[in-house]
Structure 1
Amino acid sequence: MLIRTNAIVLRSLKYSDSQVIVDMLTEQSGRVSFICRLAKTAKGKLKKQLFQPLTILEITYDSRPRVTLQRITDACIRQPFGSIPFHPYKLTISLFIAEFLLYSTRDEQQDLPLYQYVESSVRWLDATVRSFANFHLVFMMRLSRFIGFFPNLEDYRSGDFFDLRNGIFSTLPPLHPDYLSPQESAKIGLLMRMNYESMHLFVMTRAERNRCTELILDYYRLHVPGFPELKSLPVLRELFE
């Protein structure tokens, strides 16, 4: 069955001299992996440039339920980037976000709100001209709402501990080691008050931002089986002052 859908590239791996394996988050089918034969001539449809991380595509593929790697029959760029490939900081953040999504959405089925959130976020990053140093923090925290472990902030009081396993605040430390001190728990509340339009108002040092990144990734590792250390993280740590 032919399916036409919007899709966001997460990873592209060389399979042979003429083929690549591409992991995508699609609007119609959730996470799908494809094997694509690259064009050998300028007139070919499937060019290597289409499959750069976070590229927003419109694709057609032949869906076969018992096949692990689907085959794309047609693809075109749905939203050309105006700045991400040419801005070193935006490019670094985009590579981190793509790798982060590769593992955090690994088992996701069709989820239209999730897809729309990711696509609109990528579009925002590409278009923004104001400070975006906290973009990845806001993106990761708000993605947890769609995956199912968004922190419960309703009962937060200053001085509370944050239980990483259960995503809740408590006045006493839980009876397991996966929790944050009151000082670091306050950072969770701070992060949840940010959005893309207001995050430039929250000034952080590089060390503070990197610590928040580590806390969020630790939170994901507790809730997403097999979530690994991200290879793109060391480069991200060096961004901004």
Structure 2
Amino acid sequence: MLHKTSGIVISYILYRETSIIVKVYTEKFGIQTYIENGVRSSKGKNKIALFQPLTILDLVVYHDPKKDINRLSEIKCPNPLLSIPYNIKKSSIALFINEILSKSLKEHAENIEMYNFLITSIDSLDKKETQFENFHLVFLLHFAFYIGFGAESATEIKNQLYEFALQIPIDKVHESSINLLLKSNYEDFLPLKREHRSQVLDILIGFYQIHIEGFGEIKSVSVLKTVLDS
């Protein structure tokens, strides 16, 4: 059966000569996997540029909950990203956020509040012109609530890390920064020293690791830190 839904591209892999298999976080069905034929062919009606991570698409999809992979019928990109692909700092943040999403989004069910949060986050990053160096930290703290383990304070995060014997140093400066970030939104800006931003990021990744099974290493962290500190 055909359904209309919007969706956020998470990732894709090449399939056969001209096709891809793409993961999309959809408004109606949660995380879904689709096959798109001919997208890598010069004769294909859709181009692979439509499937870059965090691109927001309007879709008509075939949906059978019994299948692991469904098909796409129609694809439109009404509001392409205007700055994220062309700003190295923003694209590094987007790459990091995309990796977090790929490891965190597992439900095959509608979650309108989470979906709207992600759409708003992507739109905010794309539109911000300055002072987005802490964007990923605010994202991590707020996104944790939507996937079930949000913390109310830095002390709560600290205690949970210690409970799991995760050896990540957390001093008073880190706690203060996290508490301020918890109260912040994307429009606020907290001036953090480079080393503090990097250390807070390590703390928050550790926080995710103890809550999400198989979360593992985040490969994009080194690139993110290098670009933001340049």
Higher alpha-carbon deviation: 57-66 or 103-112:
103-112
- Alignment partner of 1:230: what SS? coil
How far does residue 206 in structure 1 lie from its aligned partner after superposition? 2.0
Q: 2:158 aligned to 162, 165, 178, which one?
A: 162
Answer yes or no: is the 8 Å Cα contact 1:141–1:192 preserved in 2: yes
Match of 2:186 among 184, 196, 210: 196
**Which residue pairs with 1:22 in the alignment?**
22
Greater alpha carbon shift after TM alignment, 227-236 vs 116-125: 227-236
| 2:138 aligned partner | 138
- Secondary structure (helix, strand or coil) at the match of 1:49 reads helix
* Structure 2 letter corresponding to 1:192: L
Deviation at 1:109, TM superposition (A): 2.4
Task: Output the amino acid matched with 2:123.
Answer: R
Asked whether the 8 Å contact 2:32–2:108 carries over to 1, the reply is no
> Contact 1:35–1:72 (CA<8 Å) still a contact in 2?
yes
> Cα distance, 1:45 vs. partner?
3.1
| Contact in 2 for aligned 1:6/1:59 (Cα 8 Å) | yes
Name the structure 2 match of 1:230.
218
Query: What are the ranges of 5 or more consecutive residues in structure 2 without an aligned counterpart?
Result: none
CA distance in 1, matches of 2:50, 2:179: 38
1:11, 1:99 within 8 Å by CA — same for their partners in 2? Answer: no
Count of aligned pairs: 226
CA deviations on 1:134-179 (whole Å, 9 max, x unpaired) are: 00111111001111111133xx78xx883226xxxxxxxx665248
Superposition pairs of residues 1-241 of structure 1, within 5 angstroms: 1-39=1-39, 40-41=41-42, 44-107=44-107, 109-153=109-153, 162-164=158-160, 177-178=165-166, 181-183=170-172, 184-199=174-189, 202-241=190-229
- What SS class does the counterpart of residue 187 from structure 1 fall into? helix
Aligned to 2:158, what secondary structure does the other structure show? strand
User: Does the CA-based 8 Å contact 1:81-1:126 persist in structure 2?
Assistant: yes
* 15-24 or 131-140: bigger deviation: 15-24
Instruction: For 1:112 and 1:219, locate their aligned partners in 2 and report how far apart those are by CA, in whole Å.
Output: 24
Q: Contact between 2:14 and 2:21, CA under 8 Å: does it hold in 1?
A: yes
2-structure distance, mates of 1:69, 1:216: 33
The two structures have a TM-score, normalised by structure 1, of: 0.86
Q: Which amino acid aligns with 1:85?
A: P
> What SS class does the counterpart of residue 32 from structure 1 fall into?
strand
The answer (yes or no) to whether the contact 1:30–1:110 under 8 Å persists in 2 is yes
For normalisation by structure 2, the TM-score amounts to 0.90
Using the alignment, how far apart are the partners of 2:226 and 2:164 within structure 1?
33
Q: Give runs of ≥4 in structure 1 deviating > 6 Å.
A: none
Q: Please tell me whether the aligned partners of residues 151 and 157 of structure 2 are also in contact (alpha carbons under 8 angstroms).
A: no
Considering only aligned residues, what root-mean-square deviation do their CA atoms show, in Å? 2.1
Q: Which structure shows the higher helix fraction? A: 2
Cα distance, 1:90–1:161 mapped onto 2, change above 3 Å: closer
Q: Is the 8 A contact 1:104 1:224 kept in 2?
A: yes
